Structure 1
Amino acid sequence: MELPTVHPRFPLTGPAESDRDLVGERFRSQGGVVRARLADGTTIWVALSYRLARQVMTDPVFSRAAATRPDSPRSAEGLALPAMLSSLDGEEHVRTQRLIMRAFTPKTVEGMRPWITDVVHDLLDTIAGLPQPVDLVTMFTAPLPARVMCRLFGVPYQDQERFGRWSEMLDSTENPDEVIEAFGLFHAYMRELIVRKRARPGPDLTSELTRLAEETGELTPDEVANNLVMVLGAGIDTTVQQLANSLITLLTERDQYELLCRRPELVDNAVEELLRCLILIPTGTMMRVATRDTELGGWTVRAGEGVVALQHVANRDPDAFTAPDRLDLQRPDAGRHLSFGIGRHFCVGAQLARTEMRIALRELTRRFPAARLAVPAEELRWRDGSLMRGPVTLPVTLT
Structure 2
Amino acid sequence: MGLPLTSTKTAPVSYPFGRPEGLDLDEAYEQARKSEGLLWVHMPYGEPGWLVSRYDDARFVLGDRRFSHAAEAENDAPRMRELRTPNGIIGMDAPDHTRLRGLVTKAFTPRRVEAMRPHVRRMTASLLRDMTALGSPVDLVDHYAVPLPVAVICGLLGVPEEDRDLFRGWCEIAMSTSSLTAEDHVRLAGELTGYLADLITARRAAPRDDLVSALVEARDAQGRLSQEELVDLIVFLLFAGHETTASQISNFVLVLLEQPDQLALLRDRPDLLDNAVEELTRFVPLGSQAGFPRYATEDVEVGGTLVRAGDPVLVQMNAANRDALRFRSPGVLDITRDDAGRHLGYGHGPHHCLGASLARLELQEALRTLLDELPGLHLAQPVEWKTEMVVRGPRTMLVGW
- Which residue of structure 2 aligns with residue 94 of structure 1? 98
- Which residue of structure 2 aligns with residue 66 of structure 1? 71
Q: For 1:236-262, what per-residue CA distance to the aligned partner results, in whole angstroms no more than 9, with x for missing partners? A: 111111111111101100111122222
Question: 1:336 and 1:204, CA in 2 relative to 1: closer, same or farther beyond 3 A?
Answer: same
| Cα separation, 2, equivalents of 1:342 and 1:219 | 25
| Cα separation, 2, equivalents of 1:113 and 1:74 | 37
TM superposition shift of 1:13: 3.0
Q: Secondary structure at the match of 1:176?
A: coil
Moved more, 267-276 or 25-34: 25-34
TM superposition shift of 1:45: 0.5
| Cα separation, 2, equivalents of 1:27 and 1:391 | 27
- TM-score calculated relative to the size of structure 1: 0.93
Moved more, 46-55 or 100-109: 100-109
| Cα separation, 2, equivalents of 1:76 and 1:315 | 26
- Which residue of structure 2 aligns with residue 269 of structure 1? 275
TM superposition shift of 1:367: 0.5
1:241 touches 1:390 (CA, 8 Å); kept in 2? yes
- Which residue of structure 2 aligns with residue 10 of structure 1? 15
| Cα separation, 1, equivalents of 2:29 and 2:168 | 31
Q: Secondary structure at the match of 1:46?
A: strand
- Which residue of structure 2 aligns with residue 288 of structure 1? 294
The answer to whether 1:158 aligns with 2:162 is yes
| Cα separation, 2, equivalents of 1:129 and 1:109 | 30
The answer to whether 1:387 aligns with 2:393 is no
TM superposition shift of 1:197: 0.8
| Cα separation, 1, equivalents of 2:43 and 2:284 | 23
Q: For 1:202-234, what per-residue CA distance to the aligned partner results, in whole angstroms no more than 9, with x for missing partners? A: 111111122233343120122111011011111
The answer to whether 1:324 aligns with 2:327 is no
Could you say what the CA RMSD is over the residues aligned between the two structures, in angstroms?
A: 1.9
Residue number among 34, 55, 58 corresponding to 1:29 in the alignment: 34
The answer to whether 1:147 aligns with 2:139 is no
RCO greater where, 1 or 2, for CA within 8 Å and sep 6 or more?
2
After TM superposition, list the pairs within 5 Å mapping 1:77-226 onto structure 2: 80-81=85-86, 84-177=88-181, 178-179=184-185, 181-226=187-232
2:383 touches 2:397 (CA, 8 Å); kept in 1? yes
Q: For 1:111-149, what per-residue CA distance to the aligned partner results, in whole angstroms no more than 9, with x for missing partners? A: 322221111111110122222111101111111111111
Q: For 1:74-103, what per-residue CA distance to the aligned partner results, in whole angstroms no more than 9, with x for missing partners? A: 345675526x22111122221111122134
1:315 touches 1:338 (CA, 8 Å); kept in 2? yes
TM superposition shift of 1:342: 0.5
| Cα separation, 1, equivalents of 2:230 and 2:399 | 40
- Which residue of structure 2 aligns with residue 312 of structure 1? 318
TM superposition shift of 1:70: 5.5
Question: 1:343 and 1:312, CA in 2 relative to 1: closer, same or farther beyond 3 A?
Answer: same
Question: 1:172 and 1:50, CA in 2 relative to 1: closer, same or farther beyond 3 A?
Answer: same
2:38 touches 2:304 (CA, 8 Å); kept in 1? no
Q: For 1:13-63, what per-residue CA distance to the aligned partner results, in whole angstroms no more than 9, with x for missing partners? A: 335214222111111122362111111362111001001111221111211
| Cα separation, 2, equivalents of 1:212 and 1:108 | 20
Question: 1:183 and 1:266, CA in 2 relative to 1: closer, same or farther beyond 3 A?
Answer: farther
Amino acid at match of 2:299: D
- TM-score calculated relative to the size of structure 2: 0.93
| Cα separation, 1, equivalents of 2:83 and 2:203 | 29
2:64 touches 2:349 (CA, 8 Å); kept in 1? no
Number of aligned positions between the proteins: 394
Question: 1:21 and 1:216, CA in 2 relative to 1: closer, same or farther beyond 3 A?
Answer: farther
Residue number among 359, 368, 371 corresponding to 1:362 in the alignment: 368
Amino acid at match of 1:154: G
| Cα separation, 1, equivalents of 2:376 and 2:237 | 35
Q: For 1:254-286, what per-residue CA distance to the aligned partner results, in whole angstroms no more than 9, with x for missing partners? A: 111122222222111111111101111122242
| Cα separation, 1, equivalents of 2:223 and 2:20 | 47
| Cα separation, 2, equivalents of 1:123 and 1:14 | 32
After TM superposition, list the pairs within 5 Å mapping 1:226-245 onto structure 2: 226-245=232-251
| Cα separation, 1, equivalents of 2:85 and 2:105 | 21
| Cα separation, 2, equivalents of 1:117 and 1:2 | 51
Moved more, 285-294 or 154-163: 285-294
1:5 touches 1:34 (CA, 8 Å); kept in 2? no
| Cα separation, 1, equivalents of 2:306 and 2:140 | 47
Amino acid at match of 2:342: R
> Share of identical aligned residues, percent?
38
Amino acid at match of 1:9: S
